[in-house]
């Protein structure tokens, strides 16, 4: 019981507000189950995915394969308590190339048909520093620089921009600053300072996604510009708040939408990303009857100041239908360890494609002609238990059992027997010598006598 006195103050109870998200539970559950299977099939540390309406910023799904039960948090759940959507800055790699090209298109330094000489697998810059490509092309246009993910071509495009133009352009896309997403922490990431970006090598390195730190949420916001006439929208998880009387309250984002590039430049990149899926590294994302575009990125992970053979594999893009549904979609895979699955085309792209399957099955996307072409079933190979090497059995020496035998008791001799004189043993007679007559001196009768 509560005892009141004259100093007590009675305050009317006010119930809290109910939080309503933009995330439908049915969609979220399907996505979570899918990435759990994908994680097992490629042996990854973690998979992070997101689906957002390109024009409104409403987040329909934001999922990680690392989850926990809030009512029963265990020691192994501690890493999952940090949501990597906004709190895991990383070097994203080639998914930054469309942003670099978009800036040059916006400044009218290039067109999608501008050709660049890329006829080197290793392109020397200055002071022994170089940029390399996996594929060899004598020269290719801007569109194919993105389609074939050419580091050399992207570097040359970045050199058409000043360090200031390049850095300020990336800031317009929302890099190196908070996204404004309605989560507790929203890390800004980082870009190189202007004094470094004025150098060709640093600008080239950043043009294809190294030497900078970005978050999953930042790239979702940046890529929404390529599906929304150049406007980068702020991701929003919360739809509205509701009180006990049913009244709705909305919270405006702390950081609003921003025009990253012109409508023309954004639509040019939009068309280039469609080509990536048609004939480039994103072909596994194709879905008949839908407009699908995106860009892959496979980036080394750095440890102790050195790049190691571990990778972040990403695919960011969009999927639209003829009825006006437009979604920005992202997939990031951390450390896929199964052979060759660290390539984004073998891990992040199939994950992206399976999100399209779910969106179509739940009627968020409607392919032209009503076709539903599902991806192959995810194959999860059972992990074979390690072979137990048994040491060869060594036969142990059998211990001889000690058998104790009672001594035979001899009768005690009498006095007469003790003093009895023993007789000396009689000697054996020596054998008498046998004399034989030589055969030559014997008669025939004697010889035959001895034989029978």
Architecture of domain 24-68+84-370: 3-Layer(aba) Sandwich (3.40)
Among 83-97, 348-362, 364-378, name the one with the lowest average pLDDT: 364-378
Residues 6+ apart with CB under 8 A from 343: 298, 313
Per-residue pLDDT of 141-190, as tens digits, reads 999 999 999 999 999 999 999 999 999 999 999 999 999 999 989 999 99
Per-residue pLDDT of 239-266, as tens digits, reads 999 998 899 999 888 899 999 999 999 9
What pLDDT band is residue 452 in, cutting at 50, 70 and 90? very low
- The dihedrals phi and psi of 213, each to the nearest 5 degrees, come to -120, 125
Q: In angstroms, what is the C-alpha Rg of the chain? A: 43
Q: pTM, whole model, 2 decimals?
A: 0.81
pLDDT at 355 over 90: yes
* 3 state SS of 267: helix
pLDDT at 421 over 60: no
What pLDDT band is residue 31 in, cutting at 50, 70 and 90? very high
The CA angle 67-72-78, to the nearest 5 degrees, is: 50
Per-residue pLDDT of 38-93, as tens digits, reads 999 999 999 999 999 999 999 999 999 999 888 888 888 887 888 899 999 999 99
The CA angle 344-350-356, to the nearest 5 degrees, is: 130
Among 2-6, 233-237, 271-275, 408-412, name the one with the lowest average pLDDT: 408-412
């Amino acid at each position: 019981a509560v005892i009141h006195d004259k100093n007590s103050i009675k305050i009317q109870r006010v119930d809290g507000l109910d939080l309503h998200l933009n995330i439908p539970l049915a969609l979220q559950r399907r996505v979570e189950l899918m990435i759990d299977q994908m994680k097992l099939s490629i042996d990854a540390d973690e998979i992070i995915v997101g689906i957002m309406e390109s024009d409104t910023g409403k987040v329909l799904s934001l999922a990680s394969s690392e989850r926990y039960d809030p009512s029963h948090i265990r020691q192994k759940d501690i890493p999952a308590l940090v949501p990597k959507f906004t709190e895991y800055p990383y070097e994203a790699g080639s998914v930054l190339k469309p942003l670099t090209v978009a800036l040059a298109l916006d400044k009218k330094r290039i067109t999608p048909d501008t050709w660049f000489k890329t006829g080197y697998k290793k392109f020397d810059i200055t002071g022994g520093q170089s940029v390399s490509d996996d594929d060899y092309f004598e020269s290719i246009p801007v569109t194919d620089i993105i389609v074939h993910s050419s580091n050399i071509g992207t570097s040359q495009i970045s050199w058409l921009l000043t360090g200031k133009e390049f850095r300020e352009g990336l800031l317009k896309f929302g890099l190196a600053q908070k996204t404004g997403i309605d989560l507790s922490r929203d890390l800004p990431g980082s870009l190189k300072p202007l004094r470094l970006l004025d150098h060709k090598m640093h600008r080239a390195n950043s043009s294809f996604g190294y030497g900078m730190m970005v978050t999953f949420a930042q790239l979702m916001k940046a890529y929404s510009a390529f599906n929304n006439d150049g406007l980068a929208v702020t991701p929003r998880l919360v739809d509205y708040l509701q009180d006990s009387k049913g009244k709705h309250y909305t919270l405006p984002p702390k950081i609003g939408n921003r025009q990253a590039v012109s409508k023309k430049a954004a639509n040019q990149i939009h068309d280039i990303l469609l080509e990536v899926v048609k004939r480039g590294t994103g072909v596994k994302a194709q879905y008949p009857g839908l407009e699908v575009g995106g860009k892959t990125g496979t980036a080394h992970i750095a440890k102790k100041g050195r790049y190691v053979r571990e990778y972040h594999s990403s695919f960011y893009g969009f999927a639209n239908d003829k009825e006006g549904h437009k979604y920005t979609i992202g997939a990031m895979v951390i450390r896929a360890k199964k052979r060759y699955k660290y390539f984004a085309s073998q891990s992040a792209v199939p994950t992206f494609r399976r999100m399209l399957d779910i969106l179509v099955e739940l009627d968020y996307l409607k392919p032209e002609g009503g076709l539903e072409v599902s991806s192959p079933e995810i194959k999860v190979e059972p992990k074979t238990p390690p072979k137990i090497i048994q040491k060869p059995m060594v036969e142990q020496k059998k211990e001889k059992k000690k058998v104790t035998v009672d001594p035979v008791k001899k009768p005690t001799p009498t006095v007469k027997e003790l003093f009895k004189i023993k007789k000396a043993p009689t000697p054996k007679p020596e054998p008498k010598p046998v004399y034989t007559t030589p055969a030559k001196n014997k008669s025939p009768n004697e010889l035959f006598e001895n034989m029978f």
